Amino acid sequence: MSQVLVVADLVDGAVGKPTLELLTLAGRIGDPVVVVFGEATGAVAARLGEYGATRVLTVTDPAVTDYLVAPKAEALAQIAATTTPAAVLVTSGAEGKEVAARLAVKLGSGLITDAIDVAADGSTTQSVFAGSYAVHASVTQGVPVITVKPNAVTPEPAAATPAVESFAVTISDQAKGARIVAVEPKQASGRPELSEAAVVVSGGRGTGGNFDEVEQLADSLGAAVGASRAAVDSGWYPHAYQVGQTGKTVSPQLYIAAGISGAIQHRAGMQTSKAIVAVNKDAEAPIFALADLGVVGDLHTVLPAVAAEVARRRS
């Protein structure tokens, strides 16, 4: 069976859900071989094995791990040269897409970005124009390099025992143009990662800039906090929390939209949520057309009441 390269995206040294999703897609095409930039602990290898990784290749050379994207693309090209993979799968994100693009150029391959599904023959589905169209595409030249949006598929366990091997690479001076000089851990919010959370509470312009009630409801539910672009552009919440076409794509079990009108660009990032609850004081707000449960009311009243009720039932 042919091998499929999966580029691991480790979060604080642990395997994130998007990598497990890539493994599930890779397993449809061939034997998933995971590339880890940095050390792969026993726990990391075991986790990757639970979702079908047959090999784990670690690249620990500081010429890769101490630099930004260019050395990673060079390293992947060298790995691809020895493994002749049927495809290379990378998580869509700023870094992932840049690495993938550079890799595709080096391999003389076609590149598909932001896929939401990958079939056994390597063909992909993309959702474009804010979810209005599904595009089916295949790479016609070289090794398909595909970036996949987080939350595109549900990870499926497929037990395997991967061999962990160190892969030696040679990195050119040209690729070492931008070195990482400091890494500061983000202040932990104690909340789950937005792209992976089972419950997301998002606030929009209707918050008026006060996210306290959104955060309190999120904390009562063990949820992540999200925001609309209007809230982010107003400087009320950091950009990393923006949900939508130009932000994160989320697909939680429950998505609560508070003070968000439901513009098509926002919906593009959350419309695959399993259950959607909208709180909006305008009964005509477009978000209600999408909502499984709509509450017409002032979020400053509704959110604290829900948080209090959740706390009461949990006590």
In 170-285, beta strands by DSSP E: 199-203, 224-227, 254-258, 275-280
Residues that bind ligand FAD (CB under 6 A): 204-206, 228-231, 242-247, 259-261, 263, 265-266, 269, 279-282, 285, 298-300
Angle between helices 42-50 and 17-29 (to 10 degrees): 50
Residue 164 or 256: the one with the smaller Cβ distance to ligand FAD is 256
Residue 3 or 245: the one with the smaller Cβ distance to ligand FAD is 245
Task: Identify the CA nearest to 139 among candidates 301, 259, 29, 272.
Answer: 29
Minimum CB separation from ligand FAD for residue 17, in Å?
Answer: 21
Minimum CB separation from ligand FAD for residue 281, in Å?
Answer: 4
Residue 244 or 294: the one with the smaller Cβ distance to ligand FAD is 244
Residue 91 or 280: the one with the smaller Cβ distance to ligand FAD is 280
* Spatial distance between the Cα atoms of 250 and 243, rounded to a whole number of angstroms: 7
Characterize 50-84 residue by residue with b for buried, 16 or more Cβ atoms within 10 angstroms of its Cβ, and e for exposed: bbbbbbbbbbebebbeebebbbbbbbbbbbbeebe
Residue 38 or 93: the one with the smaller Cβ distance to ligand FAD is 93
Residue 118 or 295: the one with the smaller Cβ distance to ligand FAD is 295
Minimum CB separation from ligand FAD for residue 282, in Å?
Answer: 3
Residue 282 vs residues 36, 59, 207, 231, 269: alpha-carbon distances, Å? 48, 53, 13, 18, 22
Minimum CB separation from ligand FAD for residue 124, in Å?
Answer: 22
287, containing H or E segment: helix 287-290
Minimum CB separation from ligand FAD for residue 207, in Å?
Answer: 7
Place of tokens 């061939």: 30
Angle, CA 146 vertex, CA 164 and CA 59 arms, to 5°: 25
Angle, CA 271 vertex, CA 110 and CA 287 arms, to 5°: 140
Residue 58 or 245: the one with the smaller Cβ distance to ligand FAD is 245
Minimum CB separation from ligand FAD for residue 101, in Å?
Answer: 21
Quick one: how many helices (H) and strands (E) in the chain? 10, 16
Minimum CB separation from ligand FAD for residue 255, in Å?
Answer: 12
